[in-house]
Amino acid sequence: MRGLLIALLTAVSSLVALPAAQAAPQPRTGFELTGEWTTEAGEQAYLRATGLPVSEIGTTAQGRPIQLVRVGSRTARTVVLFICSQHGDEPAGREACLIRMRSLPRTSSVTYLFVPNANPDGRAADTRGNSDGIDVNRDHLLLRTAEARAMASVIRDWKPDVIHDLHEFGPSAPYYVKDVLWLWPRNLNVADGVHDLSETLSRSYVRPSVEAAGRTSGVYGIHVDPVTGEPVRQVAGDGQERILRNTGGLKHGMGLLVETNADNTPAFRVESHLKALDGTQSFVAGNGSAIEAANAASRAVRTGPVYFGGADNQPPAPEDVVSPQPCGYVLTAAEFLTVRDRLALHGVTSQYLRGGDRIVPVRQEARPIIPLLLDPRADEPLFKARVVAQC
């Protein structure tokens, strides 16, 4: 009897539709919930709620963590790095990064890395610079700040194929009248393939992505006459190697700067950044082989001129072109100790010389950046070392 009852109950239960298991709700940023910028505590709670791997890559002068968030495998073929809100008073990029990281595929051929708050002290104080007043985006060569050192370590260790840097520009009417501005590495020491693909990323992927969403866009650093639409003058966006867009290109990554207009509403700015991120994701999805080839060619030991000035839209002065390239740079043992750690963060290797000196040979993977770090003719060298002209 008991067996018959169990059988009947089992049969009935098989006919009753059970409610489908509901997916756990996705976490939301403070900005999504309240319309206010996500707080420091809210950011940490949100990162925990995503369940994504988070590592500490540095600590600011005021003790705040500088963090790296990984989406995807450690061994994916392509690595994309998003640097979010290097300037603390430009928060829309940070919000876009926090929102986007939760929706990316966690198993794919691409690893997405985020530094969601690249200037935590500046964000807390709502200042452009860090707590020492230093503009972090002008420190990617000398590495004086903990923030820039943290980003250099990520670039060295992960070797990103694409580096997407998120910013905002302030009121500058009537010339900067676009909603979104973008730019690629202009430094002449960037390998041709990396430069060309970076420009393609800006013009052929980010631009149509943001403009399809109803945003106006253009090249960063160019004042445009609001009536004629013609360029008036260049005010920013040159080839300075200390700017991340250029440093990233010198370190073999397709570089991109995206700036949204702070005259627009916060929601419009965040959404504009998200549309730009769409463009970068489409670029990576459709150009894997070309990205890999350009990156490999850039990393290969190269010869050719070294440029200490100029940009892709500004010819260098004759005295700023050195050809052939130097063989290397010599430092005494004491001099080397003063720069050893920062050279290591840049991925620069050196060799012992008889007598205790060190030579940094130019013919190595870090070749594009070495003369800019050590040559007395550079604009802002890390150290003015002794030039070895010929090997």
Residue 229: Cβ within 10 Å count: 9
Catalytic residue selected from 147, 168, 241, 259: 259
Q: CA 160, CA 110: separation in Å to the nearest integer?
A: 11
**Degrees (nearest 5) of the Cα angle 139, 140, 144?**
45
Q: CA 247, CA 345: separation in Å to the nearest integer?
A: 13
Q: CA 143, CA 137: separation in Å to the nearest integer?
A: 10
Q: CA 277, CA 101: separation in Å to the nearest integer?
A: 11
Residue 2: Cβ within 10 Å count: 6
- Residue 73 half-sphere exposure toward CB, CA atoms < 13 A: 8
Residue type, 86: Q
- In order, the DSSP letters of 206-218 are IHHHHHHTT--EE
Rounded to the nearest angstrom, the gap between the alpha carbon of residue 251 and the centroid of all alpha carbons in its chain is 11
Q: How does 12-49 read in b/e, with b if 16+ C-beta sit within 10 Å?
A: eeeeeeeeeeeeeeebbbbbbeeeebbbeebbeebbee
Q: CA 18, CA 35: separation in Å to the nearest integer?
A: 38
The torsion of the CA quartet 322, 327, 332, 338, rounded to 10 degrees, works out to 60
Taking CA atoms, 330 is separated from 47, 118, 350, 378, in Å, by 45, 34, 9, 16
Q: CA 12, CA 18: separation in Å to the nearest integer?
A: 12
Residue 107: Cβ within 10 Å count: 8
Residue 259 is a catalytic residue: yes
As beta bridge partners, residue 223 has 233
**Degrees (nearest 5) of the Cα angle 220, 225, 229?**
80
Catalytic residues: 259
